[in-house]
Amino acid sequence: MLNLKIESLKTGYGGNPILNDLTLSLKRGKVTSIIGPNGCGKSTLLKSIGRILKPSGGGIYLEGEDVFRMETRELAKKLAILPQSPIAPAGISVAELVAYGRFPHQSGLRKLTSRDYDIVNWAIGATGLDSIREKEVDALSGGQRQRVWIAMALCQQTDIILLDEPTTYLDMAYQLEVLQLLESLNQTYGTTIVMVLHDLNLASRVSHEMIAMRSGEIVKAGTPDEVMTVETLRAVYDIEAHIVRDAVTGAKVCQSYKLRDRKLERIGA
């Protein structure tokens, strides 16, 4: 069953088009990663889906309804978006920030109910934050802060979570920690995850679907096996890649690559 459908989407910044006539369907209950070089339109696509950026043409439909015609509070009950490097208010605790996710479910100035607190506690537990719930967010590590933001999104109780480069500035261990948490949310609760990732191998490892973009267009969309090919990476990144199976996970990975028509070679992509 299709959950999100993008039809003939056109959008950009300051009159400069980034996406032009882009059409795409995203499946319910899947982890989907969007990959591609800087400036190709990955974040623009995510912002458009999350209604941060208004398109100049085409439409985005959630369960058949145009997201730009939906009431903001109702959309926030169905879809959560985490931008790159979100900033928490100074001095706020983990539990307080997570509770912000309940705002779409409140009316007026009503305080949190016992039901709201139950959901806050569930989200904190689901993301492994119980032991630090009273700590200030500013005092946490990068990986812990990402978990707090994900917990806040969980509190919205949405079917879909959009994440723009959730592993940026994190070391290898924290990157994997965050992505395994998203995998767990998908497997346990059926949450649809759509995220922009730069690391091809991590995207291949955790995703059901991958979308490879270049210059505002979709070059290839499909399973990691279908997208992680020499031909696709050549078309997207201008590289000649060596693709192998990871001996532990079985996922396709780019073991090494070289730039096309150049002598410079980099190993360990």
d(C-alpha 201, C-alpha 251), whole Å: 8
Quickly state the pLDDT bin for 169 (edges 50, 70, 90).
confident
CATH architecture of 1-78+159-228: 3-Layer(aba) Sandwich (3.40)
Enter the tokens of residue 83: 């931008």
Res. 261: pLDDT tops 80: no
Enter the tokens of residue 63: 């369960």
d(C-alpha 64, C-alpha 60), whole Å: 9
> pLDDT at position 269, please?
44
Segment 216-239, tens digit of pLDDT: 999 999 999 999 999 999 999 999
Res. 262: pLDDT tops 60: no
Q: What is the mean pLDDT of the chain?
A: 92
d(C-alpha 216, C-alpha 244), whole Å: 28
Would you kindly state where each structural domain of the chain is located, as residue ranges?
A: 1-78+159-228, 85-157
d(C-alpha 160, C-alpha 171), whole Å: 26
pTM recorded for the entire structure: 0.90
Q: Specify the 3-state DSSP secondary structure of 252.
A: strand
> pLDDT at position 267, please?
46
